[in-house]
Amino acid sequence: MGMIIELQQVALTYQSPDGEIEALKDVSFHMAEGEFVSIIGPSGCGKSTLLSLVAGLEKPSHGAIWVDGDIVTAPSPKIGLMPQRDQLFEWRTIWSNVTLGLEVRHENTPKRQAHVRELLERYGLSEFLSKKPSQLSGGMRQRCALIRTLATDPRILLLDEPFSALDYQTRLSVSDDIHSIIRQEKKTALLVTHDISEAISMSDRIVVLSHRPATVKAIHDLGELRLLSPMERRDAPNFRTYFNQIWKELEINV
């Protein structure tokens, strides 16, 4: 199977006024088309940096990244980035929020708009087009943020801790929701999180990163858990086994 994302010995050192900050060191992994991979690592280890590199917003100091066979040198329309906060603009309606990406790219065409309408319909948001984000629940806002990212029809989604602003209960149902949308739309997804349960409940594989400078500590294939929804996985007998293993790898000391 052809790899849609490939990282080979990627390193990044930031130059800052106070000196150099080594964020990533020797990171290698790959993803097949349609795969859902989570990156988990301690806070500050370099996870967002890794997504910026894949998105073409930063350049590696060493190594290289390929997306769909081409070396990444700049942002590509093949990639959609869903940021940590939903970044919906309060003064804009839901419709003008979800079509913002199209506006920015000068792609606000009837064809694209029809696609967005279809997504809003499919995921239960079509009644809210003229509402403001503050009139929506946390979960619905997250769905809007995802639809905005899907509006430009990227093949790859990069998600940076998309659920971190939600309370625990909302998070469970929203992660279920977002997982099924990504599967249904047949996207390749790379999700960054520091939450072990979230990684196990959503992905096909999990890449565990070390403390900064981040390097790959382990890669887990979730095997038969892949066939279950996030909710079902949390009740599966081997959920705990993966959890304990990753907990150890992250060297969490309490």
Residues making contact with ligand ADP (CB under 6 A): 14, 16, 21, 23, 41, 43-49, 212
**Which entry of ligand ADP, Mg ion, none binds 23, CB below 5 to 8 A by partner kind?**
ligand ADP
Helix 138-150 × helix 110-122 angle, to 10°: 150
Whole-angstrom distance, CA of residue 245 vs CA of residue 254: 16
Report helix, strand or coil for 27.
strand
Count, residues in the chain? 254
Whole-angstrom distance, CA of residue 33 vs CA of residue 74: 20
**Which entry of ligand ADP, Mg ion, none binds 143, CB below 5 to 8 A by partner kind?**
none
CB of 41 to ligand ADP, least distance (A): 6
Which of 233, 223, 166 minimizes the C-alpha distance to 200? 233
Pick the closer one to Mg ion by CB: 42 or 56: 42
CB of 229 to ligand ADP, least distance (A): 27
CB of 241 to Mg ion, least distance (A): 27
**Which entry of Mg ion, ligand ADP, none binds 16, CB below 5 to 8 A by partner kind?**
ligand ADP
CB of 46 to ligand ADP, least distance (A): 4
Pick the closer one to ligand ADP by CB: 85 or 105: 85
Cα dihedral 133, 137, 138, 144 sign: negative
